Amino acid sequence: MLMTSSWERQGSVIRVSMWLFLSVSVVLSNKWLVTDMNFKFPAYPAFLATSHMLFGTIAISVLNGLRPTSSLVVTDMTLRKYASIIIPVAVALNTSIICGNEAVAYISITMIQILKGLSPVTVYMMSLFLGITQFSRMITTTLLLISLGIFLASFQSVQTDLYGISAQLIGIVSDSSRLVLMQKIFTSHPFTFDPPTLFYHLAPFCALLGAIITAFTSFPTTLELQNVWAMLLLNCTLTSMLNLAGLFVIQKTSSLTLSLCGISKDIFLITATTLIWKTEIKTLEIIAEVQ
């Protein structure tokens, strides 16, 4: 029993570590595209999300074709079940990515990562509302302290960059909804959906929804894509791996655990952007992040 528990803890550490590595890599590759390769993807907020999910759809379909014994297709997936299980997650996912990409054009990456510290708060509240988790005074107190730190760090930016802050907050709420809904899928359908199966059914609709939004907004020219295609391909690969890694973490732990791990990721990102791109960090931002 102790051996099993030890293996489970080690497995969780490995999954979380992989998620942290991939998450940091994705954000840094996004930053690299914007800063060093002059690819203005904030001007195409839906295009990048669509590219990620289109690549993910192709990759997971190829993986399904290579599985010799089992298929990722859920045989009893009716249209009604798809609409109730998959579509809400897809809408939340696309909204979170598009709003996050939109925010990049108006506020600094440091401020974005600090605001993302609110994610555990919103995830916990939604989990309580849906009955996925139980109320804990210690967790509530900790999350209230996080909220206070976020307020201190973002107060000045709220006064000057209201649109960017609003876009990021909408993205945070949408992403929290996505995480909680995914956990609910795993707990409600444990024998039907594993991470690859859920991603197999989720990615195509996300790609379709993103393509529709992209058609009514803006997308890069062929010349722009020619200049960044290699980095964009790497970015899509990392994002697909990140999506799967996140699903494994949620399945084996919880959506709140994944959201709390995001705080460690934010610290890594702030440090990395400061060292690589010499991003300035205000004193209040440091205090909030340490808190």
- Interhelix angle 119-130/255-277, rounded to 10 degrees, is 170
User: Could you give the CA distance from residue 126 to residue 118 in angstroms, rounded to a whole number?
Assistant: 13
Please give the structure tokens belonging to residue 21: 């590595």
Dist CA 31 CA 275 (whole Å):
13
**H, E, C per residue of 83-129:** HHHHHHHHHHHHHHHHHHHHHHCCCCHHHHHHHHHHHHHHHHHHHHH
User: Do residues 25 and 171 touch, judged by C-beta distance below 8 A?
Assistant: no
**pTM score, two decimals?**
0.84
The domain spans of the chain are 26-290
Would you write out the chain's pLDDT as a tens digit for each of its 291 residues?
445 566 777 888 899 999 999 998 888 887 777 666 666 655 666 788 899 999 999 999 998 888 766 778 887 888 999 999 999 999 998 898 878 877 877 877 667 767 877 888 899 999 998 888 888 889 889 888 877 777 676 665 555 678 888 999 999 999 999 999 999 999 999 888 999 999 999 999 999 998 998 888 877 888 888 888 888 899 999 999 999 999 999 999 999 888 888 777 777 777 776 777 666 555 444 434 444
Residue among 178, 34, 177 nearest 108 (CA): 34
